Amino acid sequence: MNQKTNHPATTFGIVGFPLSHSLSPLIHNSIYKDKGMNAFYQVFETEEFDQNIIRELRESGVKGLSVTIPHKEKAFALADQADGPSKIMKASNTLIFEKNSVQAYNTDGDGAFRSILEWSPESLNRGKTLVLGSGGSARGIAYSLATSGKVKGLILSSRNETTGREICSLISENSFVKAVFVDPKDLLSIRDQISLVIHTTPLGMKGQSPGPFIGEEFFDSSMTVFDIVYNPLETPLVKAAKNAGAKIIPGSEMLLYQAMKQFELFTGVIPDSNDIEKTRERLSVALAKR
Catalytic residues: 72
Annotation-wise, does 20 bind a ligand?
no
Annotation-wise, does 252 bind a ligand?
no
According to DSSP, the residues that pair with 132 across neighbouring strands are: 157, 199
Residue 289 vs residues 27, 253, 284, 286: alpha-carbon distances, Å = 16, 17, 9, 5
Annotation-wise, does 133 bind a ligand?
yes
Annotation-wise, does 22 bind a ligand?
yes
SS3 for 99? coil
CA–CA gap between residue 32 and residue 36 (Å, rounded): 6
Helix (H) or strand (E) holding 95: strand 94-97
CA–CA gap between residue 286 and residue 278 (Å, rounded): 12
Annotation-wise, does 268 bind a ligand?
no
User: Nearest-5° angle of CA 90, CA 25, CA 228?
Assistant: 50
CA–CA gap between residue 24 and residue 254 (Å, rounded): 12
Annotation-wise, does 258 bind a ligand?
yes
Annotation-wise, does 228 bind a ligand?
yes
Annotation-wise, does 164 bind a ligand?
no
Annotation-wise, does 51 bind a ligand?
no
Residue 129 vs residues 53, 104, 176: alpha-carbon distances, Å = 38, 27, 15
Question: What secondary structure does DSSP assign to 101-156, as a single string?
Answer: -EEEE--HHHHHHHHHHHH-TTHHHHSEEEEE--SHHHHHHHHHHHTTT--S-EEE
Annotation-wise, does 23 bind a ligand?
yes
Annotation-wise, does 251 bind a ligand?
yes
What would you report as the CA-atom Rg of the chain, rounded to the nearest whole angstrom? 19
Binding residue ranges for NADP(+): 133-137, 228, 251
Binding-site positions for shikimate read: 22-24, 68, 93, 108, 230, 258
Q: List binding-site positions.
A: 22-24, 68, 93, 108, 133-137, 228, 230, 251, 258
